[in-house]
Each structure stands twice: as structure tokens, then as C-alpha cells.
Amino acid sequence: MKRKRIKDLPNFQRPREKLLERGPQALTDAELLAILLRTGVEGKSALDLAKKILEKAGPELHRWQVEDFRQIPGIGEAKASQIVAAFELARRFFQRGRPAIQEPKDVLPYVQHIADKRQEYFLCLTLNGAHEVIKTRVVTVGLLDSSPVHPREVFAGAIADRAAAVILVHNHPSGNLEPSPEDLAITRQLVEAGKILGIEVLDHIIVSRTGFLSLKQEGMLP
């Protein structure tokens, strides 16, 4: 079967030429997607492929990952990666109002509510590749030496969020910010687990009613 090609269309129907002449707002969703795909496959043009993707994905297109696009015949890793990267870049620019975590104090608005708790709370903040917070989760409640923090509980949410990194946070009800031997041991364990999973542990922060301490800033992060 002869391969359909966009170059066989008249100029005014070709997505790229149409964009250059009239701007991106003049293109349909399928035409915009076809530009990202660049080429088609045997018997299908890039525009045909784009229409097939839109038909399958519907309003969930922006949530699709590489493996979802791979289910479409003719979409390999390269094309799938290009589309996913384009959506992620667009998402980051549209969400620039959400500040990225650049230093330990940036974490405080997300965890200040546990600073004066009478029990010890262990939280995990999941972050994307731009170090924006995806979600804050309570992992355990109770003393760390009597309620061990298991990597499975910490990283299950991070994996579900497709997080690039995590920040660990727990409070010291005593007010003393000095990390205990248990704190340091748990941190080492979680950093190692993160390396295996490909999810970086950026910091472990201790908060209390008297302030906060960053293990990374103090040179205590493995």
C-alpha cells in the first residue's frame, strides 16, 4: 500500500504550512498533533495517525504516557516521547504560578501544620521534574522508633504520581531539631531505596514549633 504523505496535500491543507501562514490557533487538534508526529507510517499520513490518537484518547490525551501512545500502531518510542514531552512542557508553563521548591524554607507552607503536633508525623512530598510539589502525603503517625517508616509506604505514592523526586519531612514534638540516630538511619535507607527506583530524595527536613532543620543543608543527607 502506498504511504500517504502530507506533502501530497495542497499547501493550504498542510498543517505546517497552515501554521506558518495563519498561526497555530487556525489549526485543528489533529493538525497540531500531526506537526509533532512529523511523519506517518505505511498507508497512513501523520494527520491520519493524529486523528487515530485523538479518537482513542479523547479528553484524556494530556494524561497519556509513552506506553499509552505505543498502543497505537505506527507510534514508536520516539514519536510517543515527543508528544509526552510537548504536553509536559506546556503544563509547566501554564502552571508557573505554582512555585518550585528551590530551598528548604520553600517546603514550610506545605508542612507547617505538623510543627506543633504532639505526635510525630512523617510526610512525603512528591515533586515533578521542575521540582513543583505534586502532592503531600502522611506516611506514618507515631514515634519513628516504634512505628518504622518502610520504603514501600514512602515510595508507593511517588510511583503513582510519576514523581521525579521526593522530600521527606517529619516533626519533633519535643522542639529539639537535632536528628536522632533513627532519623539518620531511616534517611539512609530511603535514599538508597530512591536510587534503586530512580526517584531522588532531595532532602529530609525536621520541623518543630521552634523552627526547622534541613539534613541536606547540614551535610547529613547521604
Tens of pLDDT along 61-109? Answer: 888 999 999 999 889 999 999 999 998 888 777 666 567 899 999 999 9
90-112: burial string, b at 16+ Cβ within 10 Å, e else: eeeeeeeeeeebeebeebeebbe
Q: Which residue is it, cell 510539589?
A: 133
What is the pLDDT at residue 158? 95
Which range of residues forms the domain containing residue 118? 104-214
Would residue 205 count as lying in a domain?
yes
Would residue 209 count as lying in a domain?
yes
CATH number at residue 156: 3.40.140.10
CA distance 35 to 151: 42
CATH number at residue 71: 1.10.150
Half-sphere exposure of 82 (CA within 13 A, CB side): 12
Domain end point (choices 50, 74, 94): 94
If asked whether residues 14 and 86 sit together in one domain, one would say yes
How much is the pTM? 0.62
If asked whether residues 170 and 205 sit together in one domain, one would say yes
Strand order from edge to edge, sheet including 211-214? 133-141, 121-127, 165-171, 200-208, 211-214
For residue 3, pLDDT beyond 50: no
CA distance 87 to 82: 9
Do residues 127 and 134 lie in contact, with contact meaning Cβ atoms separated by under 8 Å? yes
Record the cell numbers describing residue 158, joined without a space. 511517588
If asked whether residues 42 and 123 sit together in one domain, one would say no
Would residue 219 count as lying in a domain?
no
For residue 13, pLDDT beyond 80: no
What is the pLDDT at residue 67? 92
If asked whether residues 144 and 208 sit together in one domain, one would say yes
